[in-house]
Amino acid sequence: MVMPTNFLQSINSPDDLKRLRVEDLENVSRELRQFIIDVVSNNPGHFGASLGVVELTVALHYIFNTPNDRIIWDVGHQAYGHKILTGRREIFHTNRKYKGISGFPKRSESEYDSFGTGHSATSISAGLGMAVASSLKGENRHTVAIIGDGSMTGGLAFEGLNHGGTQKSNLLVILNDNNMAIDPNVGALKEYLLDITTSQTYNKLKSDIWNLLGKMNRLGTRSMVQKLENALKSALLKQSNLFESLGFRYFGPVDGHDVVYLTQILNDLKNIPGPKLLHCVTVKGKGFTPAEENQTAWHAPGIFDKDTGERIVLKSDKPSPPRFQDVFGHTMVELAKQNEKIVGITPAMPSGCSMNIMMETMPDRTFDVGIAEQHAVTFAAGLAAEGLVPFCNIYSSFMQRAYDQVIHDVVLQNLNVVFCLDRGGLVGEDGATHHGVFDIAYMRTIPNVTICSPLNEEELRNLMYTAQLPNMGPWSIRYPRGNGSMVDWQTPMKQVEVGTGRILSEGTDIAILSFGPLGIIASQAVEKLKTKGISAAHYDMRFVKPIDTNILTQVGKRFNTIITIEDGAIQGGFGSAVLEWLNDNGYQTRVIRMGIPDRFIEHGTPQELYRECSIDAESIYKTARSIVAPKMIGKVV
């Protein structure tokens, strides 16, 4: 029987939720889950993770006094229900859209978003800081940090646990255990959690002990029963509990989809002082069968039919170019067949970066290390120190987490590690936390690194081929999210001379120097300039470091003005490299740098964001025309 749908429409804040009876929460959860399905089916976003924590979200806001009590969502993929229950239901359809609400928790968006998140493994450390701050200020509030088992592989999570266990702060960590990140979880922690959740004897005794705790709490004997419980854990699991060895009182595992039971547990935990961890077992994609059955594909499925589960892919009569990540994946297999020293590494993103293509054919030479970018880099360094050639694929914004390892463990030792930085540049709807706009600048300051970016798919293959040749040292190859520009891209690979660019079109009025795939957009501007009688020379620089000094010498002598184009931060990036070299070598050429301005860019489609940052074809055209037009006496421009 279909229940009437009316609870959710009356909830505009957690205060409204608290007015309901606890037995009404199952219906609220059902309506909330359906609302997420309805909206995300038409406005794509992170789907499966939010469905998996619907009951937990409802229970948290029902029991805790938010926003005075702090709730911190790790990563934020699972925060859609939270946003809907905290006053954003009516605008949830703008989620991830240009000028709409963010797809992640954001402090400036709502007082209920206690901490801004977008990268993993941060919630425990942030929550501990907030809990300690409350204690120092004499405030009476609870702090809850929700973290997925996938995020628990991040070193920062263990650093937070290690410190948190020594504090007396009122911190509750909720481990959302669904055995998934984006792809299935890997590693020893996964097996440890599986042992806990599948021990039938332990779980039965755990349930009995929990009931005893509740009954005997009035007699002040909770401490005694807790000791008995800890002894049983150690005996039944044949090892001490990891979390309790770090100083956290462990509770669970519990059914993360029993909303009434969750309210009871959370209410009890509110009265237990000190650091605590509640282990909730959930199903990613819960309540939508296709998402439950194929959790990786339904992490962020795009547009889909909410009734049939059919994912809708817009098709064109014309063949489309491949995604850069797929070119990387297929090229890895080709190169690895030719060079037995090549291995592949990814931190929990095999499908996201297409390393799964090599995993399927060469599983013994590919390594998913979990959400652990620092480890991925130093692991790659160890492989390279023994003569292998690791291709370490990490999203540009995630590589920021391993900057010290890049410098100290790879580059200082001049090891031949090839960093393939996927999602370089503006990524679109994921917004400021995921834009990969800083890697050009942060890599360029490190000695000994070859930094390059391909114009198209063919160049990506050639750069990958060149990077794995003997004695190449550390490389950074960056490329964007999304499709390239070549349909026939599987061309024979050839070596590229390091530090060389190439001229794409001759010109006499102005020089345009582009770095990476934005060169395709710049070429469109060059063609439009021709229709106005403006002759622009266009160079694809390919390398930022070492930069092509022959080209810079030519343009420095021939042109009064140069425009540089990059899909990266304008401060310290490609344009800065050009400007520095010209200045250091005595050229007076004016340099107009076009790139990502010195501010954080929010979310929207890539096209909308390119336009906002003035690096779309029209902006490049207008900039070049405004410079040249005053000099074009006698010409129609």
**What residues are labeled active site?**
284, 373, 401
Calpha distance 426→615 (Å, rounded): 11
Q: Residue 264 belongs to what H/E stretch?
A: helix 259-269
Calpha distance 56→111 (Å, rounded): 20
What is the bridge-based pairing of β-strands 561-569 and 590-596? parallel
**Residue 551 in tokens:** 């080209």
What CA dihedral angle connects 69, 78, 269 and 257, to 10 degrees? Answer: 140
Report which DSSP code applies to 446: S
Calpha distance 83→65 (Å, rounded): 16
- C-beta of residue 429 within 8 angstroms of C-beta of residue 605: yes
Q: Map residue 423 onto helix, strand or coil.
A: coil
**Residue 344 in tokens:** 């592949």
Calpha distance 555→592 (Å, rounded): 13
Q: Match 């990786």 to its residue by tokens.
A: 296
Q: How much is the CA Rg of the chain, to the nearest whole Å?
A: 27
Please state the φ and ψ torsions of residue 388, each to the nearest 5 degrees.
-85, 170
Nearest to 86 by CA among 153, 201, 173, 8: 8
HEC-encoded secondary structure of 313-371: CCCCCCCCCCEHHHHHHHHHHHHHHHCCCEEEEECCCHHHHCCHHHHHHCHHHEEECCC
Calpha distance 476→448 (Å, rounded): 11
Q: Computed from CA positions of residues 6, 9, 15, 17, in that sequence, does the dihedral angle turn out positive or negative?
A: positive
Residue 14, Cα to own-chain centre: how many angstroms? 29
**Up-side HSE of residue 92: CA atoms within 13 Å toward CB?**
23
Calpha distance 625→529 (Å, rounded): 7
Distances (CA, A) of 94 to 58, 102, 115: 22, 8, 21
